[in-house]
Structure 1
Amino acid sequence: MSDNTDWPAVPFEPWKDSCAALHLQTQIVGKYRLAHTPWVNHSWHATLYVNADGLTTGLIPDGPGITVQFDLQRQRLMASCSTGKSDGFPLEPMSIAAFDSRFKETIATLGGSPEYDGCPNELPDVTPFTKDTAERPWDADAISRFHRALVRIDAVFNEFRTGFLGKVSPVHLFWGSFDLAVTRFSGRPAPLHPGGIPNLPDAVTREAYSHEVSSAGFWPGGGGIDEPCFYSYAYPTPGGFADQPVRPEAVRFDQNLGEFVLPYEAVRSAPDPRQALLEFLTSTFDAAAGLAGWDKDLSCALGRKGVPRPVG
């Protein structure tokens, strides 16, 4: 019998409208961070991070210094600053325009400057936040379960991250595509990316893919895959990548996306979900790095708790 107690069910269809609302809300908060933070390679300065309560921006250098958090267990948007002040509002059914307005009021109350780009990114049909006045649902139970799933996934992604000595990204949530991701880099420049992502400047895409990568992540659903899935891809894609033997058995190669995908439910229902996900992350990376001729010395054993990595 599978031990999936700590890996909650998160089927996409029942909460897809609430997911869309949360996605747009994270874009608003993420754009605020983006507007006030110096650029870091590959847009790493714009992302959100999983924590025990939900999703956080980390410290934003605006006004007195502000941190914003989606508390997805208590269903509140919270912001705090270095003066000790905090403010926020309930996360509940509302329009995107209403969320945008409440968020700006919250930031202004803390002494920040709520100024940021007012249109969504990486979506095909977009409405400016201030004009998106249709009420959106908020399925608190589904969103709470989604967060608990992110906590489990974040832990495995961070464990996988320790097995690489080269440049590797934080484990972070990109609010444009709404995926939790971790990316390894070979250290070599990549061909100029063609761009063409909807409502995203090509300059941003090309800087993000300036160097060879093997990237893995998790989507809650949408974008052509209507179920929660893990993914793994390489840029540039090496020849023969789609035909490589990878694990576990439930993995398939999606020709439209050009990526390996693994349904979340296959991991959740596995006898050992952590091990199943690590197999996916490791085998797809090995396929990409092997075909592309990455330096084998960049890979190493996974980190161990309380044990310094041996050198020499």
Structure 2
Amino acid sequence: MELFPAIPLAEWRDTKATLHRFAQVIGKIRLAAGVRRNHWWNAPFHLTGRGLTTRPMGQVDGNPIFTIDFDFVGHRLHITTVDGRAMSFPLYGQSVASFYRDTMRALADLDVRVHIDIPHPFDLPDTGRPFEDDTEHAAYDPVMVTRYWQVLSQVNLVLEEFAADYSGKISPVHHFWHTFDIACTRFGDRVVDQPPDADPVTREAYSREVISSGFWFGDDSFPEPAFYSYTAPEPERLENEPLLPEAAQWIAQRGSHLAVLPYADARTEADPRATVLAFYESAYRAGARLAKWDIPRLACPGGITDPLLST
């Protein structure tokens, strides 16, 4: 199929809002039932051949080992335990409230008991409304949901290719359910002392220098899908550094700067994949150079560190 097919936010805004909240329900279950990892690497979803997975969780909290999977081809939610028991139900025709109830009921039928500390959306306009009371968000366009997964799958592999060229500490390529983006983060060596009043999500996520690269589908603040990169803490004059291609730019956001390449511009290039890789590389080098990372030492061309092969 076409690389980077069109997915304008206006065509699935209501569906995206519903799906985002579905993802947050399952993400909060993942957060409650899994082993904590540095920088919250335990929290995000990973891509599968049909959608998204939480990966196996449970056991450490007394629950059976279980996995929750979104199937965006058949449009169902699947919950499976390690002993082979399974429950599933359709994603379409659901409000957030009914999805939440069906999920918790299916878990209980599989003898899984998970307590969500804050069963509300995170960092969304209706953050004060419990999932079980949300009958407003109920749109579900299966064509656009499948398109969302297809775009995620394509971007996932571009990010995997970009990740291969770095030999330092680096996150998996993963899909964050709270911000609804897919990203991969390169880490520097320096410890970052966050202010005491920083929230716990920020303190853990940014306890080291990072340069993060990713893609999001657009929201009210930036109403179109785009590739992005940022450096944190942000070095001085980062916004003056050159970016590739010409359509890329630095934009001010929340007191810092984000490198942005609109999806619409990338997909019309002669070689969209190479264009996105060049964008990520230019943004990484801008941040790494100003932060004084040892760029040659951290390079890993072709994903190879074997000194014999690398020469």
Between the aligned partners of 1:90 and 1:234, the Cα distance in structure 2 is 40
* SS of the residue 2:278 aligns to: helix
Aligned length: 300
**Residues 1:61 and 2:58 aligned together:** yes
After superposition, what is the alpha-carbon deviation per residue over 1:212-264, rounded to whole angstroms, capped at 9, x for unaligned? 00001111110411001111000000111111111111111111352011111
Between the aligned partners of 2:193 and 2:212, the Cα distance in structure 1 is 16
| 8 Å Cα contact 1:191/1:236 also seen in 2 | no
Off by >3 Å, runs of 4+ in structure 1: 193-196
Paired position in structure 1 for 2:307: 311
Please give the root-mean-square deviation of Cα atoms over the aligned residues, in Å.
Answer: 1.6
Paired position in structure 1 for 2:264: 265
Where does 1:246-257 land on structure 2 (aligned, <5 Å)? 246-257=243-254
Paired position in structure 2 for 1:199: none
Between the aligned partners of 2:277 and 2:164, the Cα distance in structure 1 is 12
Between the aligned partners of 1:276 and 1:301, the Cα distance in structure 2 is 18
Paired position in structure 1 for 2:99: 99
Q: Which amino acid aligns with 1:13?
A: A
Paired position in structure 1 for 2:202: 205
After superposition, what is the alpha-carbon deviation per residue over 1:5-29, rounded to whole angstroms, capped at 9, x for unaligned? 1322111011011101111111110
Q: Which amino acid aligns with 1:131?
A: D
Paired position in structure 2 for 1:85: 85
| 8 Å Cα contact 1:193/1:209 also seen in 2 | no
Q: Which amino acid aligns with 1:264?
A: Y
After superposition, what is the alpha-carbon deviation per residue over 1:40-59, rounded to whole angstroms, capped at 9, x for unaligned? 11111111011111111011
Paired position in structure 2 for 1:229: 226
Q: Which amino acid aligns with 2:307?
A: V
> Greater relative contact order: 1 or 2 (C-alpha under 8 angstroms, separation 6 or more)?
1
Q: Which amino acid aligns with 2:88?
A: G
Where does 1:185-196 land on structure 2 (aligned, <5 Å)? 185-192=187-194
Q: 1:241 to 1:193 in 2, by over 3 A?
A: farther
Q: Extract unaligned runs of 5+ from structure 2.
A: none
Shift of 1:209: 0.5
* SS of the residue 2:228 aligns to: strand
Between the aligned partners of 1:124 and 1:295, the Cα distance in structure 2 is 41
* SS of the residue 1:283 aligns to: helix
| 8 Å Cα contact 2:18/2:137 also seen in 1 | no
Paired position in structure 2 for 1:155: 157
After superposition, what is the alpha-carbon deviation per residue over 1:128-149, rounded to whole angstroms, capped at 9, x for unaligned? 1111122511011111111100
Where does 1:163-182 land on structure 2 (aligned, <5 Å)? 163-182=165-184
Q: 1:29 to 1:292 in 2, by over 3 A?
A: same
| 8 Å Cα contact 2:252/2:258 also seen in 1 | yes
Does 101-110 or 275-284 show the bigger shift? 101-110
Match of 1:128 among 127, 130, 154: 130
Between the aligned partners of 1:85 and 1:121, the Cα distance in structure 2 is 31
Between the aligned partners of 1:194 and 1:13, the Cα distance in structure 2 is 40
| 8 Å Cα contact 2:50/2:73 also seen in 1 | yes
Between the aligned partners of 2:185 and 2:134, the Cα distance in structure 1 is 33
Q: Which amino acid aligns with 1:280?
A: F
Q: Which amino acid aligns with 1:130?
A: E
Q: Which amino acid aligns with 1:178?
A: F
| 8 Å Cα contact 2:230/2:258 also seen in 1 | yes
| 8 Å Cα contact 1:190/1:235 also seen in 2 | no
